Amino acid sequence: MLTQYIPIFIVLSIAIIFAVVTVSASKIFGPQRPNKEKLSTYESGMKPVGTTRERMSIKYYLVAMLFIIFDIEVVFVYPWAVNFKSMYAEQGISVFFSMLVFLIVLELGYLYVYKKGGFKWD
Amino acid sequence: MQEIYNLIPFVLISAGILVSLIFEMYAKNSKRIIAWFSVFIFLAAGFHSLVNVDNAQLFFNSMLQVGGNINIFIFLFNFAAALVVLMAMDYSSKYGNNFGEFYILLQSSVLGMMLMAGAKDLFVIFLGLEIMSVSFYALAGLNRMRLKANEASLKYFLLGSFATGFIVYGIALIFGSTNTTSIPQIVDKFGELTHNLLFMAGILMFLIGFSFKMAAFPFHMWVPDVYEGSATTVAGFFSTAGKTAAFSAVIITLGSVFMHGNANIFEPYLVVLAVTSMLYGSIVAIAQNNIKRMLAYSSIAHAGYLMIGLASGNYEGIAGIIFYLAAYTFMNLGAFGVVALIEGKDETNLTFESYTGLSKKQPFLAAMLAICMFSLAGIPPFAGFFGKYYIFIAAIKSDLTWLAIVGVISSVISIYFYLRVVVIMYFNETEIDLTVQKSNYGLLAVVISVILVIIIGIAPGSLIDLISSFLK
């Protein structure tokens, strides 16, 4: 019954042991020279405590949105490139052209952003 | 080659979006070019699907279907979008959303609706819904200098994504209990799954999400604010094509359940929604003074009438819904078109006072609006009457006579606020002057919708026969 879950338990216990061992080893053997900056919570360079209604430039949101264009592109192109040979053997050249259509659609959006000045910071 | 031939509407709109983007980037007079180009592809795609209404075919591993009533839906979306483009040509510069992107977003929302109508898989419904909704959120707030438009867009986005969350969760539960997202396979297993609590919860969550998109009663909060805040042409598109798309998706899922001969186990849910939407929409609309808000509450009431067709759960109900949606699309677009023509710069002339004595100042526009109002109220011989007639007949045939009676009572209530507009236009006098900007294209769109309302009203038989022939 539960025997089929044994690999999961093994992975789980290895993960726990690994985390406990590394954290405690660095605590025991590592040099300890704490200061105020080091002890504060790490928040990607932002102040960890303060008003939650802080305003920031809308340009950051634009960058985040444009990042998605390239992100999605990579997510789709990677597995396609890895499996291209086997897919080509099965379905022929249409595999290549379907990706080409996808890329054209994506690059058209990229070109649109460029023409509308989406990459200008000022 | 036949495969690609039947897919032409989808290919046309998808290619149209890309070509319009190139126009927007490089053409000098891009707005006019994109507007006429989108009218062309909407009409081409719409009439292509109408001509090939008999060619039923499955695509992409049976994930998408065209033919039959799906093509009628595709025609409705495209034709409504073409009318909206005609209305928007002059209105957009008046309101201040005269961007080439307006037409591009319109095209992409129509693509989403077509995917929803043709879906044979829950994920295709979800994909189409998202394409449509995201375009709608952007369309509502396209002019970011207007605070009301911003409010409408944000409200629509927050509540709409919440509703979409319900739909996704419902799809997850359905998938969890059936191991498939293919609608025909789910329908095959439907009989044995009716006692599966997980499955029924999934279907109900799916229905709740779509009730939001249809603007039925407990999920209607966004409707008045969004319709009031967004541009009048856009509000007209939301209330007609958007509602039609939501109903087309539900008809695909629930409709195939009816055709499989199962009793309608969702009747209690649909009946409650129908009764509350009808009465709430009709009664609250009486208190409105802004014509766009009044039309928004009337749209909630119409969602209720359409729900009767779903609740009755037979072929007649489904055919009645499709007929009603066709009639409703044209009469509501006509009404919104007249409102868009009369609206002045900066969202003025939207209260009922502006319509006082309109028959003297603008006799033609007043007549057009009066016909649309008579049709919305359900007075023969206009299309709205036969829409209600077919839906009430379907309710009576499935022993829901009391529901039909509630529907008639609600129609009687709604006559008060529809005919109030007519009374104000024809029997009240005023000193206030009304300057109406001339717009030939807007007038053309209104005239086309009114002509269609009259034609459907005079000869309802051929349309209902066509729809019914695909359901048998």
| A67-117 pLDDT per residue, tens | 887 888 888 899 999 999 998 888 888 889 989 998 898 888 888 888 888
Per-residue CA distances from A50 to A35, A42, A47, B22 (Å): 20, 14, 7, 46
Flag if A108 and B24 touch (Cβ within 8 Å).
Answer: no
Phi, psi of B221 (to 5 degrees): -55, -30
Which of A58, A108, A113 best tests the B interface by mutation, with the highest count of B CBs <10 A?
A108
**B384 near B299, Cβ under 8 Å?**
no
Q: What is the ipTM of this complex?
A: 0.78
Average pLDDT over residues B107-134: 93
The one-letter code for the residue type at B46 is G
Residue B25 distance to chain A (closest CA, Å):
6
Half-sphere exposure of B159 (CA within 13 A, CB side): 21
Flag if B25 and A115 touch (Cβ within 8 Å).
Answer: yes
Cβ of residue B458 closer than 8 Å to a chain A Cβ: no
Tell me which residue of B12, B14, B9 sits closest to B65, measured CA to CA. B9
pLDDT given for residue A35 in this prediction: 86
Identify all chain B residues contacting A112, using CB atoms and an 8 Å cutoff: 21, 24-25
Residue B206 distance to chain A (closest CA, Å):
28
**B152 near B96, Cβ under 8 Å?**
no
Flag if A108 and B22 touch (Cβ within 8 Å).
Answer: yes
**% of chain B exceeding 70 in pLDDT:** 98
Average pLDDT over residues B126-141: 93
Q: Kindly indicate the confidence band of residue B263, based on its pLDDT and cuts at 50, 70 and 90.
A: low
The SS3 assignment for A44 reads coil
Task: Report the distance separating Cα B422 and Cα B430, nearest Å.
Answer: 15
Per-residue CA distances from B300 to B12, B312, B313, B443 (Å): 33, 19, 21, 26
Cβ-Cβ pairs closer than 8 A, A with B, add up to: 13
pLDDT given for residue B344 in this prediction: 82
Q: Give the Cα-Cα-Cα angle A11, A12, A13 (nearest 5 degrees).
A: 95
Per-residue CA distances from A118 to A114, B15, B108, B320 (Å): 6, 23, 21, 48
| B443-468 pLDDT per residue, tens | 999 999 999 999 999 988 888 888 88
Task: Report the distance separating Cα B70 and Cα B91, nearest Å.
Answer: 31
Residue A45 distance to chain B (closest CA, Å):
29
Tell me which chain A residue has its CA closest to the CA of residue B17: A105
Scanning the structure block, which residue is given the tokens 């002019």?
Answer: B143
Instruction: Specify the DSSP element, H or E, that contains B335.
Output: helix B315-342
Tell me which residue of B261, B273, B260 sits closest to B310, measured CA to CA. B273
Dihedral, CA atoms, B150, B152, B158, B163, nearest 10 degrees?
Answer: -160
Tell me which chain A residue has its CA closest to the CA of residue B16: A105
Helix and strand numbers (H, E) in chain A are 5, 0
Scanning the structure block, which residue is given the tokens 């080409």?
Answer: A100
Identify all chain A residues contacting B11, using CB atoms and an 8 Å cutoff: none
Residue B26 distance to chain A (closest CA, Å):
9
Pairing mode of beta strands B57-59, B64-66? antiparallel
Residue A35 distance to chain B (closest CA, Å):
43
Q: Kindly indicate the confidence band of residue B407, based on its pLDDT and cuts at 50, 70 and 90.
A: very high
**% of chain B exceeding 90 in pLDDT:** 58
Contacts of A90 (CB under 8 A, 6+ apart): none
Task: Report the distance separating Cα B319 and Cα B332, nearest Å.
Answer: 20
Flag if A105 and B24 touch (Cβ within 8 Å).
Answer: no
Residue A49 distance to chain B (closest CA, Å):
27
Task: Report the distance separating Cα B274 and Cα B307, nearest Å.
Answer: 5
| B172-220 pLDDT per residue, tens | 999 999 888 888 888 888 878 878 889 889 989 999 999 999 988 888 8
DSSP state of B57: E
Buried b (16+ CB within 10 A) or exposed e, B307-338: bbbbbbbbbbbbbbbbbbbbbbbbbbbbbbbb
Check pLDDT > 80 for residue B51.
Answer: yes
Flag if A111 and B25 touch (Cβ within 8 Å).
Answer: yes
Check pLDDT > 90 for residue B167.
Answer: yes
The SS3 assignment for B130 reads helix
Identify all chain B residues contacting A105, using CB atoms and an 8 Å cutoff: 18
Cβ of residue B24 closer than 8 Å to a chain A Cβ: yes
Smallest Cβ–Cβ distance between B25 and the set A104, A105, A112 belongs to A112
Contacts of A56 (CB under 8 A, 6+ apart): none
pLDDT given for residue B71 in this prediction: 92
Flag if A108 and B18 touch (Cβ within 8 Å).
Answer: yes
Tell me which residue of B155, B117, B153 sits closest to B135, measured CA to CA. B153
Tell me the domain boundaries of chain A.
2-32, 58-115
Cβ of residue B287 closer than 8 Å to a chain A Cβ: no
Task: Report the distance separating Cα B377 and Cα A51, nearest Å.
Answer: 53
Q: Kindly indicate the confidence band of residue B329, based on its pLDDT and cuts at 50, 70 and 90.
A: very high
Tokens of B401: 């006579």
Identify all chain A residues contacting B26, using CB atoms and an 8 Å cutoff: 115
Phi, psi of B395 (to 5 degrees): -65, -40
The one-letter code for the residue type at A18 is F
Phi, psi of B355 (to 5 degrees): -90, 0
Check pLDDT > 70 for residue B262.
Answer: no
Scanning the structure block, which residue is given the tokens 């040099």?
Answer: A31
